[in-house]
Amino acid sequence: QVQLQESGPGLVKPSETLSLTCTVPGATKSNYYWNWIRQPPGKGLEWIGYFFYTGTINYKSSLKSRVTISMDTSNNQFSLKVNSVTAADTAVYYCARGIHPQKAFDIWGLGTMVTVSS
Amino acid sequence: QSALTQPASVSGSPGQSITISCTGTSSDVGSYNLVSWYQQHPGKAPKLMIYEVNDRPSGVSNRFSGSKSAYTASLTISGLQAEDEADYYCCSYAGGNTHVFGTGTKVTVL
């Protein structure tokens, strides 16, 4: 069973950049879509975007101006950066695998909590 | 993209059946048979329970079933068990290779 593991700082200051990585052995050569999804405390899930190993990337339109998803092929990691964060970006961030850009997310990481606060 | 609408809570007694609705628009649920459902226990990651409206991944109990009519998808849990108590989220393809989640439903087993 594929294991996804998110990692990154748990605390980010307002206006700074949130940076997270998700480690997936073999991800760089696999035919899957690697997604980021977040969940503010006590609230619902929000899809952020995905990366495909060919370099195809797509983002939620309302976040597109602040979000970057990329892949580090040497470390089998894909990453998320969110610029100019505010308290509204406080959430548990999950990475999740999709077999197709239009279909379900079949494997999820455990999630990592990020708090935006000074 | 507005979140899909789900009831905040649904409850039932052990052994009963419950149904959770998920209402979208012509831009998402109404246009695609690409609705999935996720179960989330407190402090845990979501788990895929249903994909493409009514298909179950291997290992998911056949007590879980899905359906769709027009702009509303539904998840039915039959033979409700204590372990089914969790939050449930629907998700739909929304065009342009994007996705939208539902507002979430808390299922309580009485």
Bridge partners, B26 (sequence order): none
Q: Provide the pLDDT for residue A27.
A: 59
pLDDT higher than threshold 80 for residue B10: yes
pLDDT over 70, % of chain A: 97
Cα separation, A89 vs A24, whole angstroms? 24
pLDDT higher than threshold 60 for residue A60: yes
pLDDT higher than threshold 80 for residue B91: yes
- Shortest distance, CA B68 to any CA of chain A (angstroms): 16
Q: Do B97 and A60 touch (CB under 8 A)?
A: no
Which helix H or strand E contains A27, and what residues bound it? none
Chain B contact residues (CB < 8 Å to A): 1, 3, 32, 34, 36, 38, 45-48, 51-52, 57, 89, 91, 93, 96-104
Could you tell me the pLDDT band of residue A24, with boundaries at 50, 70 and 90? Answer: confident
- Which letter does DSSP use for residue B3 in this model? P
Residue-wise pLDDT for B74-88, tens only, equals: 999 999 999 999 999
pLDDT higher than threshold 60 for residue A63: yes
- Shortest distance, CA B14 to any CA of chain A (angstroms): 26
Q: Provide the pLDDT for residue A28.
A: 57
pLDDT higher than threshold 60 for residue B42: yes
Least CB–CB distance from A105: residue in B48, B52, B103: B48
Cα separation, B102 vs A67, whole angstroms? 22
- Nearest by Cα to A12 from A89, A70, A109, A111: A89
Q: Provide the pLDDT for residue B41.
A: 98
Q: Provide the pLDDT for residue A37.
A: 98
Least CB–CB distance from A44: residue in B34, B45, B104: B104
Residue-wise pLDDT for A66-88, tens only, equals: 999 998 877 888 899 999 999 99
* CA-based torsion, A97, B48, A59, A39: positive or negative: negative
